Amino acid sequence: MPYIAAIDQGTTSTRCMIFDHAGGIVASAQREHAQIYPQPGWVEHRPAEIWERTQQVVRGALAQGGLQASDIAAVGITNQRETTLVWERATGRPIHNAIVWQDTRTDQICNDLAQTDGQDRFRAQTGLPLATYFAGPKLAWILEHVPGARAAAEAGDLLFGTVDTFLTWWLTGGPQGGVHVTDVTNASRTLLMNLATLDWDAEILAALRIPPALLPAIRSSSEVYALAVGDLAGVPVAGILGDQQAALVGQTCFAAGEAKNTYGTGCFMLLNTGPQIIASQHGLITTVGYKLGSQPAVYALEGSIAIAGALVQWLRDNLGIIKSASEIETLANEVADTGGIYIVPAFSGLFAPYWRSDARGVIVGLTRYVTKAHLARAVLEATAYQTREVLDAMRADSGMALRSLKVDGGMVFNQTLMQFQADILGVPVVRPKVAETTALGAAYAAGLAVGYWPNSAALCAHWGVDQTWTPQLDEPTRTGLYQGWKKAVTRTFDWTP
Ligand SMILES: Nc1ncnc2c1ncn2[C@@H]1O[C@H](COP(=O)(O)OP(=O)(O)O)[C@@H](O)[C@H]1O
Ligand SMILES: O=P(O)(O)OC[C@H](O)CO
C-alpha cells in the first residue's frame, strides 16, 4: 500500500492530506468550521461539525487522489490542542459545545486554584502554569455548569477528550467499540498529566474534582491504537500528535537543540530538549515533544502565543480593512513603517512569556497621521515581536544559541512578515519545501508505527530548504523597535479584574 493519510483538525479548518514515501503531498482537502463567540472571551466549536468536516475532508482527499481505503497503509491524527469535549459514552451525544483553547471562561477556576501556592501550583508535575489555556480547568467548568454532568461522569456514562480523542473514538466506531485514547503530547496540555510518569496525576484530579472514569488512556504518539471503520475501513489509526508537536516532527527536529516556529491562528515555538524535562525560568512551558512507540519520551520547551494569524482574521472579519488574509501584505507595503504605533493582541490575555489573564489588547501611539496601511503593518509586526520575546526566553532557559529558525504554517508565505521576523530576531528564518509540516508530522508518526518508514533518521532526508530570509536591520534600530514593543506590552496589563 503506497500512501499514508493525515487528518489535521485545526482551530479554523480541518484538512486531510495524503503523502507518499518521499513525504510528498499526493492529495488534500480542507474545510472550515464555524467559530462561536457566545460572550467576550468565550470561543466554542460544534463537536458534530468537527466530526462532519473530518469525514468530508477524508472523502475529499481520497476522491482527489482517486484512492480508496485499501491504498492507505495508516492514518495519523493531529489537532488543535487543549480544546475540550465531553460526550455520552452510549450515544456520542456531546453535553456541551467544545470549549476552545483560546476561551477564557475558566479565569475564576484558575484564580481559585491559585489561592493555594499561586499560579505555579502544578508546574512541577505538569510543566504548566495555572492558566485558562489548558484543558483541565475547561473540563472542570463543564462538570460544574452542565446540569447532571458530575453525577453522569462519576457513573462512567461520560467521556472526556481533546480533539484527538474525540476523532479517534469516532473513526474507530464511536458508540460501537470506538477506542478512548489520547497520546502523551495532547495529555501534556491538560494540566492533569504528570510529565515524569506520563500518567494522570491523582492529586491534581482531586484538586479539580475530576472523576478518573471519564479520562482516556494515555498512549504513545506512534502505535496502532485500533483499525478505522467507515471511509477508512480497516486502516490502522497509528499516530496521534498535538498539532505543534506534529510540526516539530514534520520539520524533523529530532535532535536536542532543534526548534521550529509555526505561524497559524496562534504561533508556537518548540525546542526539542531530548529526554530532559527542563523547567522554564523565563515564562515558557514544558511539554512532551513526542514519544515514538516504546522509545522514551522526548520533551520540549514551548513558547505559546495565542494570537498571530487570528489578528489578520480580525482585521479582515471584524474591521473589514482587508478582504482576504493575503491582502494584508499589499496594504502593509504601502508604507515603510507603522507610523509609530504598536498593536498588542492580548485578546485571550497574554500567554508566553507573561501568562497574564488580566491583559487585554491595545493599539498605542495613535496620531492623525496613522492610516490603515500602518495598522496592517503593525498587525504583521506584532507576530514577529511576540516571537522575539519567546526566542529570548528560550535562549535564556536553554543556554542554546539558535543559528536559524525553521518556520511553517499559513503566515509564512507573507514575505514582509518573514523579512521583518529575520530583522527583529537577528537570525535567518528558513522555510522548508513542505510547509504543511503539521499534517506531515502526523503522517510520519503513523507511518513509523506500521513500518512504512524504518526510523526517524530516514525522514530527515525529506527535509529541504525552500526560502531563507536573512537579517537586514542594523542593531540599534532593532533594539529601539523592540524596546518600543516591550513598553506597549506593559500597557495591556491590569485591564480586567
Ligand atoms: N498571506 C498571509 N499573510 C498573513 N497571514 C496569513 C496569510 N495567509 C494566511 N494567514 C493567516 O494564517 C492563518 C492560517 O494558517 P493555518 O496554518 O492554516 O492556521 P490553523 O492551522 O491555525 O488553522 C490564519 O489566521 C490567516 O489569517
Ligand atoms: O490550530 P492551530 O494551528 O492554531 O493550533 C492551536 C494550538 O494547538 C493551540 O495550542
Cα(354) to centroid of ligand 1, in Å? Answer: 24
C-alpha cell at 193: 498529566
C-alpha 439/C-alpha 362 separation (Å) is 34
Class of domain 3-244: alpha beta
C-alpha 97/C-alpha 436 separation (Å) is 28
Q: Where are the domains of the chain?
A: 3-244
**Cβ-contact 491, 344 below 8 angstroms:** yes
Cα(261) to centroid of ligand 2, in Å? Answer: 12
Q: Is 121 flagged in the annotation as binding?
A: no
pLDDT the model gives residue 40: 87
C-alpha 58/C-alpha 64 separation (Å) is 10
* Atom from ligand 1 closest to the CA of residue 262: 17
Q: Is 243 in the pocket of ligand 2 (CB under 6 A)?
A: yes
**Cβ-contact 408, 437 below 8 angstroms:** yes
Q: Are strands 181-183 and 217-219 parallel, antiparallel or unpaired?
A: parallel
Cα(403) to centroid of ligand 2, in Å? Answer: 26
- The DSSP output letter for 36 is B
**Cβ-contact 466, 435 below 8 angstroms:** yes
C-alpha 317/C-alpha 393 separation (Å) is 33
pLDDT the model gives residue 192: 98
pLDDT the model gives residue 1: 61
Could you say which ligand is closest to the alpha carbon of residue 13? Answer: 1
Residues 6+ apart with CB under 8 A from 108: none
To the nearest 10°, report the CA torsion of 308, 310, 312, 317: -170
Picking from 361, 354, 261, the residue whose alpha carbon sits closest to that of residue 310 is 361
DSSP-assigned letters across all residues of 444-458:
HHHHHHTTSSS-HHH
Residue 273: count other Cβ atoms within 10 Å of its Cβ: 21
Rounded alpha-carbon distances, angstroms, from residue 30 to 4, 6, 324 = 17, 12, 17
Cα(207) to centroid of ligand 1, in Å? Answer: 38
Picking from 236, 246, 231, the residue whose alpha carbon sits closest to that of residue 74 is 236
- Tracing cell 530548504 back to the chain, one arrives at 465
In angstroms, what is the C-alpha Rg of the chain? 22
Q: Which residues pair with 358 in a beta bridge?
A: none
Q: Is 410 flagged in the annotation as binding?
A: yes
Alpha carbon nearest to ligand 1 atom 10, residue = 411
pLDDT the model gives residue 324: 95
Q: Which of 11, 35, 101, 260 to mutate to test the pocket of ligand 2 (most atoms within 8 A of CB)?
A: 11
Strands (E) in 163-212, as ranges, are 181-183, 193-194, 199-200
Q: Is 444 flagged in the annotation as binding?
A: no
Secondary structure percentages of the chain, helix, strand, coil, to 5: 35, 25, 40
Q: Which residues pair with 88 in a beta bridge?
A: 158
Alpha carbon nearest to ligand 1 atom 27, residue = 309
Could you say which ligand is closest to the alpha carbon of residue 333? Answer: 1
Residues of the chain with pLDDT under 50: none
Distance spanning both ends of the chain, measured CA to CA = 57
**Cβ-contact 8, 244 below 8 angstroms:** no
**Cβ-contact 205, 274 below 8 angstroms:** no
pTM confidence score: 0.93
Q: Which of 312, 328, 330 to mutate to test the pocket of ligand 1 (most atoms within 8 A of CB)?
A: 312
pLDDT the model gives residue 358: 87
